[in-house]
Chain A
Amino acid sequence: MSEQQMTSVPQPQTVPVPRDAVIVGGNRIPFGKAGGAYASASNQAMLTAALDGLVARFGLAGQQVGEVAAGAVLKHSRDFNLTRESVLGSALAPTTPAYDLQQACGTGLETVIQVANKIRLGQLDSGIAGGVDSASDAPIAVGEGLRKALIKANAARTPMQRVKALAGIRPGDLAPETPRNAEPRTGLSMGEHQARTALQWGVPREAQDELAVASHHHLARAWDSGFFDDLATGFLRLSRDEGLRPDTSVERLAQLQPVFGRGEGATMTAGNSTPLSDGAAVVLLSTREWAAERHLPVLARFVDAEVAAVDYVSGDEGLLMAPAYAVPRLLARRGLTLQDFDCYEIHEAFASTVLATLKAWESEEFCRDRLGLDAPLGRIDRDRLNVNGSSLAAGHPFAATGGRIVATLAKLLSEKGPGSRGLVSICAAGGQGVVAILEGC
């Protein structure tokens, strides 16, 4: 054996477990409205653009990071290797491994948890986490009748057999099956589910509209002040989120008719619900050493995360209420109270989701009966909630939301200084909730 080969034998390492995973920075493209600026951009194009912007920001062109984990909720079957294909199309070294991961709207945050945990375990020194979604370029499936006929025609040996197979197609078979924003087990849309929760928790229309207006105003101010200069990169013709309405007002939102729920109790409008969106977001994580070696900033430390799921199918709990369960479990594990945070990032699937969750934590009954706690978690300081806007204003390309929130929060915490604490809470289809804690560096 040559000396060269001998030295290349990997030496067993003793890795101090666990070590810190830190957030170096993030990048997203401005989010587009479904059918808007990114109407003809594919998931791969958007994810590649988000990666390239991150690489350029941190001067990583041609370099290899430990891995890239990302995903999309609405995915074409040709995109089976979406993240790896995006890496290959990006400025990262082609030797960078990548994989797809999916947990509905929790995808982005789940990839952060995954990469952070691998870093903490010593399996990676660096990694990129993120997600992308396009509601514009959503896969369209053909109906079952057409699908069967096509398979038969494909398998046909003679032209006659093929003609026969195709002749079996009925006009009704030609209607495409578009993906529905509906729960497979209940047939109800997410909005209908949330309308029930809003009604159950008595979340008033005005409060929802106020939250939505705050989201727009906060996000607009953040863009104006240059907060996103090092968090977002223009893409196609967008330099800001397409759905952002800086001049919206409670009066204006009050004009809108409810779109979910029925009759008197219907409070949810297009103004206080998140629109379908297109976009991508990624986050760069690493060890402190990896960042220091490259003179890269360290914005925040990944502290811990928790995922919960609820039984929404039987109607036992609201579809989007799982974070209400995940957060107290995480707080208990870390020995923290709900008030121990400088920033709260609660994903605004609907304004009423945020408000119902906050109400649940304030409710003695919920905290006792559902969470088994002696006392309610209590109120949060609303001035610390989504201070730079959230999904109602930015939009919500499902898998991209986690990356958007984590990068935004990490920067906020780094501005607040070492030891500041932030909570991320994201509800997801299928009755799941993904939550995490970051700490400013």
Chain B
Amino acid sequence: MADIVQILTTNPLARQLGVPQPTDLRRGRELPSGPVVLATAGGPGSLVRQTLDLLGINPLDALVDTPATRVTETDEEGRTREVPPSYPSRIGAIVLDATALTTVEDLEQVRAVLRPALRSLEASGRVVVVGLEPDTAGAPTAVASQQALQGITRTVGKELRKGATANLVLVDLLTGTPTTAADLASTLSFLLEGRSAYVSGEILHVGHAGDAAAPAPARRPFEGQIVVVTGAGRGIGAAIAETFARDGAMVVAVDVAAGGEGLSKVANRIGGHALQLDITAPDAGSRIAGHVAQRFGEAARIHTVVHNAGITRDKLLVNTDEERWASVLEVNLAAQIRINAVLLERSLPGGLDDGGRIVTVSSTTGLAGNAGQASYAASKAGLLGLVRAMGADPRLAERGITVNAVAPGVIATEMWGKVPLVKRELGQRMNSLQQAGRPVDVAEAIAHLADPATAAVTGQVLRVEGQLMIGA
């Protein structure tokens, strides 16, 4: 179905009128086409170089913009100006290891490597800055300098054009459990590849996976694994199911019986199972586990459960009664708390495996609030607390289970297509990528968090919103 905005913006007339044309984003498991450039700031760091090595990426050295390296350019009218050194051809990404950065002066090195790189960055190129969790950086100056990286990265995200993104990864190096290259590999691979198409201006936290080193990133990381996706009958959930199936998973697709037609189409398309179930049913958790145990054998365990099913009952708070209020909190928050509790019972046949993953779908509304969505925002904000608490639970850490959330912004589903044109047009323009995301963009972020290789990320929320200009 051709979106009206799409027609408007791809129309040559619209182009002449100056409506900015959204770039077709690079998606999927595709690295940038140009070379990856590696830079350091504050001193030589080895973490990123080792990580690129693990990923089989051979980086170019970064060009540095200093008065000495600038070149004189003469235009047709004979005027001259100094320009930064330029790369021989377009580059695909710049990865900046700023983990050794401790002073305000060190920040100059960040500017000096980014300036030439941004001028040569290809469409859908990547800026990835790796810094320290500021609070672990030590002296106040070091904390301040590390924190400064957030301002730089988020601004670069807003300045980039043509589908390029900028993100900051925070790691631990000075704590008792330092982040290793194996810990970082999955996140760096995600950010460089097209899978992170709609993630920009984001700060990602990578810790340490513990003794069992994370497996290296693979193209089909879910081969032979069972993945449960709720609300899989349509929209984002259908894309999640398809993405996991693409990456090798056997998907148990859950939705209410009313959504059964869509659900069976999704399940049949990906060779998975349809499980019709209202997640608010008191026995929902045991029915999911029961299905897995019966259909894959008593020894089978779930690798990932994705809590995607969600509803809205929008009304201003002044007009909201208890019934409306309760239904949203029940579906979006209470039901998955109950289901998690059941699936986490260790001895339960068909429960969540050690090394398993829980990923829940929050929303930017949960971070920023939205008029008319108090109950929805409550539920989605609640999820952020839930994953933080579960991510900090040592019993889960001991079992190698991670719990994370994604927070989608404006995602073009059928529901979004029903939003009035002007509101929709504004909504999808108010972000750095100047377009709405696709369901697959959310799905890729979820699959990344669920990846066995993403073992060092837990208790986090990953926004998939193309860097919204408003909100938190």
Contact = CB atoms under 8 A, between A and B. Distances in A.
Interface of A: 49, 52-53, 55-59, 61-62, 91, 226, 228-230, 232-236, 239, 295-297
Interface of B: 253, 256-261, 263-265, 267-278, 281, 294-297
A229 B261 contact: no
Nearest to B298: A295
Contacts of B276: 57, 229-230, 233
Contacts of B260: 53, 232-235, 239
Contacts of B271: 59, 61-62
B296 A57 contact: no
A239 B297 CA distance: 31
Given A53-B274, A295-B294, A234 B258 contact: yes
Contacts of B256: 239
B266 to A, nearest CB: 8
Given A56-B274, A57-B273, A229-B276, A49 B281 contact: no
Nearest to B255: A234
Contact of A52 (B258, B268, B272, B277): B268
B269 to A, nearest CB: 8
A229 B269 CA distance: 21
B257 A52 contact: no
23 contacts: A49-B261, A52-B264, A53-B264, A56-B268, A56-B272, A57-B274, A57-B275, A57-B276, A59-B272, A61-B269, A91-B269, A226-B277, A228-B257, A229-B257, A229-B278, A232-B260, A233-B261, A233-B276, A234-B257, A234-B261, A235-B260, A239-B256, A295-B295
A288 to B, nearest CB: 15
Closest 5 CB pairs of A and B: A239-B258, A233-B260, A56-B264, A56-B274, A91-B268
Given A59-B272, A233-B260, 14 more contacts: A53-B261, A55-B268, A59-B273, A59-B295, A61-B269, A91-B268, A226-B281, A233-B264, A233-B274, A234-B257, A235-B261, A239-B256, A239-B257, A295-B294
A269 B277 CA distance: 37
A408 to B, nearest CB: 15
Contacts of A229: 257, 276-278
Contacts of A236: 261
Contact of B267 (A56, A226, A239, A297): A56
A388 B66 CA distance: 81
A62 B258 CA distance: 24
A48 to B, nearest CB: 11
Find the residue from B268, B270, B281 having the highest chain A CB count within 10 A. B268
Contacts of A296: 295
Nearest to A61: B268
A232 B273 contact: no
In the complex, which of the residues A226, A232, A234, A296 has the most CB atoms of chain B within 10 Å of its own CB atom? A234
Nearest to B268: A91
Contacts of B294: 295, 297
A322 B275 CA distance: 39
Nearest to B266: A56
A220 to B, nearest CB: 14
A52 B265 contact: yes
A57 B294 CA distance: 13
B139 to A, nearest CB: 58
A264 B271 CA distance: 60
Contacts of B265: 52, 56
A55 B257 contact: no
Nearest to A57: B274
A11 to B, nearest CB: 30
A232 B199 CA distance: 39
Contacts of A226: 257, 277-278, 281
A234 B276 CA distance: 10
Given A226-B278, A295-B295, A56 B273 contact: yes
Contacts of A239: 256-258, 260
A296 B265 CA distance: 20
Contacts of A91: 264, 268-269
Contacts of A235: 260-261
A289 to B, nearest CB: 16
B10 to A, nearest CB: 33
Contacts of B253: 56
- Count chain A CB atoms within 10 A of each CB in B267, B270, B277, B296 and give the residue with the most: B267
Contacts of A230: 276
B309 to A, nearest CB: 14
A61 B273 CA distance: 9
Nearest to A92: B268
A295 B260 CA distance: 22
B237 to A, nearest CB: 14
Nearest to B265: A52
A295 B294 CA distance: 6
A232 to B, nearest CB: 6
| Residue in B264, B265, B273 with the greatest tally of chain A CB atoms within 10 Å | B264
Contacts of B297: 295
Contacts of B277: 226, 229
Contacts of B261: 49, 53, 233-236
A212 B260 CA distance: 28
Given A61-B271, A226-B278, A56 B257 contact: no
A98 to B, nearest CB: 17
Given A55-B268, A226-B278, A232 B295 contact: no
A56 B268 CA distance: 5
B443 to A, nearest CB: 19
A59 B264 CA distance: 10
B273 to A, nearest CB: 4
A287 B269 CA distance: 27
A114 B259 CA distance: 32
Nearest to A239: B258
Contacts of B270: 61
Contacts of A232: 257, 260
B295 A56 contact: no
Contacts of A56: 253, 263-265, 267-268, 272-274
Contacts of B269: 61, 91
Of the listed residues A56, A61, A229, the one surrounded by the most CB atoms of chain B closer than 10 A to its CB is A56
Contacts of A297: 294
Contacts of A61: 267-272
Nearest to B258: A239
B268 to A, nearest CB: 4
A235 B269 CA distance: 17
Task: Find the residue from A49, A232, A233 having the highest chain B CB count within 10 A.
Answer: A233
